[in-house]
Amino acid sequence: MKLKTYILTASAVIMAMSSCSIDPLKETVYSSMTQDIAFTTGENAQAAVNAMFVPLHQLYREPMWMLNDVPTDVGTRAYCTEWLNDDQAKVDAIISGVYANYCSIYARANDILDMVPGMDDALFDTANVLPKASLIAQAHFMRAYAYYQLTDIYYQVPLVTTSDVNVDDPVSIASIDEIEAVIESDLKAAAENLPETWPNSEGQRPTYGAAESFLVRLYMRQGGRARLAGDAGTAKKKWQAALAEVDKVLALEGKCYTLYPDVWTAFDPTTDEALYNDELIWAVRASRTDTNGSWDIGLMCTPWEYDMGWDCYRCSLELYWSFDPEDTRLTRLIVDSYPDVYNDDYPDDMWYYMAPTKVEDVGRCIKIMDSMPELDNMTHSEHEYVSTQKFMFLNTWMYLYDTPNNFPIVRLSDMILCKAEILNELNGPDAESIKLVNRIRERAFENSDHNIAASDVPTAEALRSAICDERAWELNSEALRRPDLIRMGLWKDRYDKYVASQKERAYWKAINLDMPEGSFDDDVKPYPTDLTENDIRRYFPFPERETILNPGLAEARNF
């Protein structure tokens, strides 16, 4: 029996998209639409397109952090240790839904790509519906996006490019080359018919620049993989392809995109002007006025004592310690010390929290605070992490959880650093690649005093490492770190350094608390010390539930 139903929901057709969409006051509520009634009007074709974007809020609410930041040197989690544990990862409730959500996106895209091209063009000749070609292009983009993310997470997955599927058919793992050929074809098809910009009211619809940006990422990933495999010819070809695409994106700077002088502008949720800022090439968008477009991501990444956040995702102390103290990406975007938000309400039980500013201070922050007269009337607590303000929670004291925070998927600064990396891979550390890195540093420091010089990065390896660090400072907490490290061949290097820092932390904690050396060795035990360059743990296991339902997922993947 073939599965041929189209699942659309009321929320799918709202998604903070109002212009060129259906009047929400006259909305049809779609549910389990069969092939007899789905795709019969332009309106329900557009509803199907809108439904593709629904899983994004769930994916970027917490899971993508857990997959791409937590198992690296830039992130950690409140209620577990690390993710390099397949038995734990494949049953975790938060990330086990990631596979299904991305499969849902590409399945909905397949429905659209199978059905919409055959619909009468006249059905789309109305002010309430986007052009037919645009809807098809969005489906191509979202299928490519879903498969790109799936292969970033699992490396190889089944490849399904039709809605005409039988639920009882066995699944099999496709090769990475097969999957990436579909991603490339879809992105090129999308770029042909996506606009350079959308009205703000169109929410998170992808643009031409978004399609080109994912082509950049695809070719960079292929180039990095070829370089690591020793295939210099293929690597050069892929880096050249990436350069051609990134130049198309950066050609839109000044027309569609802006690198603002203040790094905070890319994240500021407090005004409409900031919310729809031009540094965002593609994002999980939020709305200040439509409750269907706001979400609780602001709660995820700061402590309750700071702003009543839920403290689910944290930045590592290793990331914090790596910043230059004058970097505004530290001073504006990282929370490292604060008084308890309840201090005014409970003056007899006041607290102050501080993170150690260097590894040697682990375990002695309370002593440091004890010597600060302005904190004499407070109880002191040392934090083992810091928090990001990229997703600032606006509703402290209100007990209203949803706020209008965007989650950037591609930013202009990302593409600028991508071009620097591409040029370095092709030419080594030349003047242009260094200048691109310094564009980002000059914005971060608000001067050129901290620019890197050619003498600082004399080899391609040195500049690659410097770009890797710059991407950590610029793009931390944006679910990009693990793929960056894999592409650059620095995953093991950075993780080994992270584990070494955990050992150093345990040493200083015991020393500073006047306890025997080794007292905190158990803190280090969860961290692996047996990583290899081609380690399978760079990628994730399929969720256990999925392997039970689809035994074909148990096939060996060629890592």
Total domains, the chain: 3
Higher pLDDT, 293 or 512: 512
Instruction: Examine the domain organization and report whether 507 and 387 are in the same domain.
Output: no
Instruction: Examine the domain organization and report whether 40 and 160 are in the same domain.
Output: yes
The confidence score (pLDDT) of residue 36 equals: 61
As a whole-number percent, the residues of the chain with pLDDT over 90 amount to 78
Predicted TM-score of the model (pTM)? 0.93
How many angstroms separate the CA atoms of 209 and 191, rounded? 8
Instruction: Examine the domain organization and report whether 41 and 76 are in the same domain.
Output: yes
Q: Is residue 354 within 8 Å of 380, Cβ to Cβ?
A: yes
Domain that holds residue 139: 1-176+543-559
Instruction: Examine the domain organization and report whether 391 and 512 are in the same domain.
Output: no
Instruction: Examine the domain organization and report whether 319 and 358 are in the same domain.
Output: yes
The confidence score (pLDDT) of residue 31 equals: 41
Q: Residue 209 has which token pair?
A: 């620049």
Query: What type of residue is 462?
Result: A
Q: CB-based contacts of 430: which residues, under 8 Å, 6+ apart?
A: 423, 424
pLDDT class of 1 with cuts at 50, 70, 90: very low
Query: What type of residue is 521?
Result: D
Q: CB-based contacts of 232: which residues, under 8 Å, 6+ apart?
A: 226
Q: Is residue 156 within 8 Å of 175, Cβ to Cβ?
A: yes
Q: Is the pLDDT of residue 80 over 70?
A: no
How many angstroms separate the CA atoms of 440 and 229, rounded? 30
Instruction: Examine the domain organization and report whether 396 and 514 are in the same domain.
Output: no
Length of the chain: 559
Q: Is residue 216 within 8 Å of 242, Cβ to Cβ?
A: yes
Using CB atoms within 10 A of its CB, is residue 32 exposed (0-12), middle (13-18) or buried (19+)? exposed
Q: Is residue 430 within 8 Å of 299, Cβ to Cβ?
A: no
Final residue belonging to a domain, choices 405, 420, 438: 405
Q: Is residue 290 within 8 Å of 401, Cβ to Cβ?
A: no
Tell me the pLDDT tens digit for each residue of 467-517.
999 999 999 999 999 999 999 999 999 999 999 999 999 999 999 999 999
Final residue belonging to a domain, choices 405, 436, 471: 405
Q: Is residue 509 part of a domain?
A: yes
Write down the H helix ranges in 332-446: 365-370, 412-427, 431-445
Cα 359 to its chain centre, rounded Å, is 28
Query: What type of residue is 537?
Result: R
Which segment of 36-40, 82-86, 220-224, 389-393 scores lowest on mean pLDDT? 82-86
The confidence score (pLDDT) of residue 8 equals: 42
Q: Is residue 390 part of a domain?
A: yes
Q: Is the pLDDT of residue 95 over 70?
A: yes
The DSSP bridge pattern shows strands 351-354 and 379-382 to be parallel
Instruction: Examine the domain organization and report whether 512 and 380 are in the same domain.
Output: no
The confidence score (pLDDT) of residue 15 equals: 38
How many angstroms separate the CA atoms of 48 and 25, rounded? 18
Tell me the pLDDT tens digit for each residue of 393-418.
999 999 888 889 999 999 999 999 99
Q: Is the pLDDT of residue 133 over 80?
A: yes
Final residue belonging to a domain, choices 405, 425, 454: 405
Q: Is residue 352 within 8 Å of 339, Cβ to Cβ?
A: yes
- Matching residue, tokens 């003056």: 347
Average pLDDT of span 197-209: 90
How many angstroms separate the CA atoms of 446 and 52, rounded? 40
Q: Is residue 142 part of a domain?
A: yes
For residue 63, give the nearest of 44, 39, 83, 40 by alpha carbon.
83
Provide φ and ψ at 294, rounded to 5°: -100, 165
Q: Is residue 276 part of a domain?
A: no
Instruction: Examine the domain organization and report whether 169 and 304 are in the same domain.
Output: no
DSSP state of 3: E
Instruction: Examine the domain organization and report whether 506 and 552 are in the same domain.
Output: no
Q: What angle do CA 509, 513, 514 make, to 5 degrees?
A: 115
For residue 539, give the nearest of 176, 52, 105 by alpha carbon.
176
Q: CB-based contacts of 388: which residues, under 8 Å, 6+ apart?
A: 301, 302, 313, 315, 333, 334, 335, 476, 477
The confidence score (pLDDT) of residue 170 equals: 80
Q: Is residue 182 part of a domain?
A: no
Q: Is the pLDDT of residue 21 over 60?
A: no
Provide the mean pLDDT of the chain. Answer: 90
How many angstroms separate the CA atoms of 489 and 258, rounded? 30
Instruction: Examine the domain organization and report whether 10 and 148 are in the same domain.
Output: yes
pLDDT class of 19 with cuts at 50, 70, 90: very low
Q: Is residue 309 part of a domain?
A: yes
| Distances in whole angstroms, Cα of residue 173 to Cα of each of 141, 280, 557 | 22, 34, 7
How many angstroms separate the CA atoms of 245 and 268, rounded? 29
Q: What angle do CA 158, 181, 142 make, to 5 degrees?
A: 70
Q: Residue 332 has which token pair?
A: 């504006």
Q: Is residue 318 within 8 Å of 498, Cβ to Cβ?
A: yes
What CATH number should be reported for the domain holding residue 144? 1.25.40
> By 3-state DSSP, what share of the chain in percent is helix, strand and coil, each rounded to 5?
50, 10, 40
Higher pLDDT, 288 or 64: 64
The confidence score (pLDDT) of residue 22 equals: 33
Instruction: Examine the domain organization and report whether 394 and 517 are in the same domain.
Output: no
The confidence score (pLDDT) of residue 92 equals: 86
As a whole-number percent, the residues of the chain with pLDDT over 70 amount to 91
Average pLDDT of span 202-223: 95
The confidence score (pLDDT) of residue 24 equals: 30
Q: Is residue 290 within 8 Å of 15, Cβ to Cβ?
A: no
Q: Is residue 328 part of a domain?
A: yes
Q: Is residue 103 part of a domain?
A: yes
The confidence score (pLDDT) of residue 11 equals: 37
Instruction: Examine the domain organization and report whether 10 and 134 are in the same domain.
Output: yes
